Structure 1
């Protein structure tokens, strides 16, 4: 793949979703956990997923800002009572993105907690 700046956001989101699907396959019991070879691997996966959750939070924040900018530019409206059909849709999307930000923050915290707990399984831990 080229530099991320050379790719459009939907393409990168598709790559990310595909990667998570492959990760799910690599950690699946039905095929003998092919991508895991010890608790250190679990720790590494948890650390990477925690970083991903932080990045997901940032992406949701940036998508919210984009929608704000589109509203400010007059391309979209979210004003309550607006006759514009997009108002409810934009408001719902912005509310959902706020929820994504909060949930991604929680996910990152929980993944870090799980990773920290895994440290106790290290020899001498």
Structure 2
């Protein structure tokens, strides 16, 4: 992500930021091989944010991203989240992610939680 976007447009969390009580981190594995990951941040006001969704380029089109997103959505619902938000990048590197989110009903929305709109990001929302 950092290589594909200007530094002031990268909102990916590092490991220390993922280790907070308001974030649940999910991984998908095939034996000892990490296939993908994602996170759910809850804001406590009925909204949540999909964070740090990644799949290894060699495992794309195998349903890994869908499986991780399904788990995030299910856990968000179970936690009482009624609206999921996300910020993602733009450009060809993000095309697969855009298709995944569109297939799952995410629609464009305004920036949230202190994010700033640039040419290098977009914001999406899903009512649960």
TM-score under structure 1 normalisation?
0.26
Structure ranking higher in helix proportion: 1
Please state which structure has a larger fraction of its residues in strand. Answer: 2
Name which one, 1 or 2, has greater alpha-carbon Rg.
Answer: 1
With the length of structure 2 as denominator, give the TM-score of the two structures. Answer: 0.26
